[in-house]
Chain A
Amino acid sequence: MAGITGKDAVLTEYATRLEGLAAPKGRSLTQDALRRLFANKAALVSLILLGAIVVMALVGRYFVHWSYDQVDWGAMHKPPDVAKQHYFGTDQNGRDLLARTLQGTQVSLLVAIVATLVSVVIGVIYGAVSGYFGGRIDALMMRFVDIMYALPYILFVIILMVVFGRNFVLLFVGIGAIEWLTMARIVRGQTLSLKEREFIEAARAGGAKPWTIIMRHIVPNLTGPVVIYATLTVPEIIITESFLSYLGLGVQEPLTSLGTLISDGAPVAEVMPWLLVYPAAILITMLLCLSYVGDGLRDALDPKDR
């Protein structure tokens, strides 16, 4: 995304630093990036798997006999049973685990996507601005981040909930509010170093406004760390969501999420392994794929690596 909007910066970099290496001709950078992403086998396989999981989460429930909140009194915490169409078994309340896993994947995907976007957008802009302006502005902005780190954020989320009521959106705010901090610090660190480079000096000399420099020259060069840290943020968000939900601040029963299913399954790993294995397998597949896709994306968008 960042790399696509930042063609100029990419070109500037080529012009100033990578003399002698001809820029690819005749193809747009978007196509080029996609082509290179698809050329990466691990990324491609991962992308297909991820797509399959997303599709299953979205339409799977139309093919499942049970609904996620339906209690089968005849099958309390039973292992997978094909005859009864409990393909993943049932939980301690007699609810079909397959239906719940599908529904939970949906919630986790939604939470992960939205909260990651929130944390990336806030973190990147905040960090880039802080790093670019430096000095007093940087000091103020970063001390604010420091304070945010130290605040008892659970209480913060509880108060949000009291003020705005129990609301799904609030969950994103709660998670986003803590997850952007590290992103902002990483982006700022990169920016501190980037802004002293020749091509930024050149842009500045050319009369470009700070906002333009940040958005067109700095942000596109942050792609690597941002994509990677974003893929690292996703698992954290999924776990944070299950913790907040456990405290009654997130998704409420009978709705569930992958994180919640796994934290319920972990203590019974030995006696009811199916409660852990299926949701964990999906989460692990999903997140591993995401890392490979993240690597592929990083490579594909890397302005220097062509």
Chain B
Amino acid sequence: MLAYTLRRILSALPVVFIAVTVSFFIMRLAPGGPFDGERALPPEVMVNVRAHYHLDQPILTQYLIYLDGLIHGDFGPSMAFYDHTVTQLMLIGLPFTLTLGSIAFLLATAVGIVAGVLAALYQNKWPDYVLVLAVMLGVIVPNFLMGALLQLFFGVYLKWLPAGGWETGSISHLIMPVVVLAWPHAARISRLMRGAMIEVLGTNYVRTARSKGIGAQLVLVRHALKPALIPVVSYLGPGLSYLLTGSLVVEQIFGLPGIGKYFITAALDRDYGLVLGTTILYMFIILILNLAVDLLYAWLDPRVRYR
């Protein structure tokens, strides 16, 4: 297991390298550049701008310049945000995103697992239907709509919560963004949990025990939980990475700082440096989380072996 973990960590570098390379060339192939906007730049100015960012060099040279910077820990400039380097943008935004994302993650995972187990225990009875309805709203109602409606009701009509913004240390500013972010995540977890739990509970020996009443069932849940968690855990890797990178809508509606927006806007702005920065960051997040998931499999089901 240790050898496996080490191998996975060592293999991260080539994987990141491939992702950077592919991103780099995909980006340059896309039509439109960072300086195509409402106003056409005079050709002479365009020449200056392109030279400033080495965009006048052959693409292979640009690639090597970028790699050289990367080796020295320099992610390069952002073309949309002159006053910040890509590294600075990431470092400023990451703490906010991590705070928001991890709270949402913990909440969603806890709620999702509990709701999933309950739904499984009451399979096809009314608590099951109600739970499905409640959690599925998180997936079915698109997050931009959910955000806008919550903001309208709790921020404007009831004035219970601030309608947006961020104050460090303020819980009230976090509630709506966390709910919007966590709900769909909780929904997916609870659905996967319910299905897997029913499968495990449906096996023969478990059935017999179930007939003995709810007390015995609770004991069973503890035994059934581990094998039933496998599909949930599979989802957690991509799920958490999504929480950390997919917060664009939440950030935009509530005016929050964070890095989620860069994953979309950098690509749309053709902010080459920032696109690559986000790719690298995302790659690391995904690699770490998926390694954690793979290790969790072995813990949940001892039959799973890695060679």
Q: Do chains A and B touch in the complex (CB under 8 A)?
A: yes
> Are A139 and B11 in touch, CB under 8 angstroms?
yes
B196 within 8 A of A: yes
Residue in B137, B241, B275, B304 whose Cβ sees the most chain A Cβ within 10 Å: B304
> Are B26 and A155 in touch, CB under 8 angstroms?
yes
A232 within 8 A of B: yes
* Cβ contact of A159, chosen from B26, B198, B234, B282, cutoff 8 A: B26
Complex-state Cα separation, A229 to B238, whole angstroms: 13
User: How many B residues face the partner with a CB closer than 8 A?
Assistant: 74
Complex-state Cα separation, A135 to B23, whole angstroms: 27
* Cβ contact of B297, chosen from A189, A227, A269, A302, cutoff 8 A: A189
A185 within 8 A of B: yes
> Are B199 and A224 in touch, CB under 8 angstroms?
yes
A283 within 8 A of B: yes
Contacts of B282 in A (CB 8 A): 149-150
**Majority DSSP secondary structure for residues of B touching A:** helix
Complex-state Cα separation, A135 to B11, whole angstroms: 13
27 contacts between A and B (CB under 8 A): A18-B203, A134-B307, A139-B11, A147-B19, A149-B283, A150-B23, A154-B264, A155-B26, A162-B29, A162-B30, A185-B237, A185-B290, A186-B192, A186-B231, A193-B301, A196-B305, A225-B192, A227-B195, A229-B188, A229-B231, A235-B142, A266-B142, A267-B148, A276-B145, A288-B136, A295-B124, A295-B194
18 more CB-based (< 8 A) A-B contacts, given A17-B203, A304-B203? A20-B204, A142-B290, A150-B23, A154-B267, A158-B31, A162-B29, A188-B234, A189-B234, A190-B234, A193-B304, A196-B305, A239-B142, A262-B145, A276-B145, A288-B133, A295-B124, A295-B132, A298-B198
* Cβ contact of B307, chosen from A135, A155, A188, A229, cutoff 8 A: A135
> Are A152 and B149 in touch, CB under 8 angstroms?
no
Give the interface of B toward A (CB within 8 A). 7-8, 11, 15, 18-19, 22-23, 26-27, 29-31, 123-124, 129, 132-133, 136-137, 139-145, 148-149, 152, 187-188, 191-192, 194-196, 198-199, 202-204, 227, 230-231, 233-235, 237-238, 241, 263-264, 266-268, 275, 278-280, 282-283, 286-287, 290, 293, 297, 300-301, 303-307
A205 within 8 A of B: no
**Majority DSSP secondary structure for residues of A touching B:** helix
> Are B192 and A299 in touch, CB under 8 angstroms?
no
Contacts of A304 in B (CB 8 A): 199, 202-203
> Are A193 and B234 in touch, CB under 8 angstroms?
no
Contacts of B231 in A (CB 8 A): 186, 189-190, 224-225, 228-229
> Are B279 and A146 in touch, CB under 8 angstroms?
no
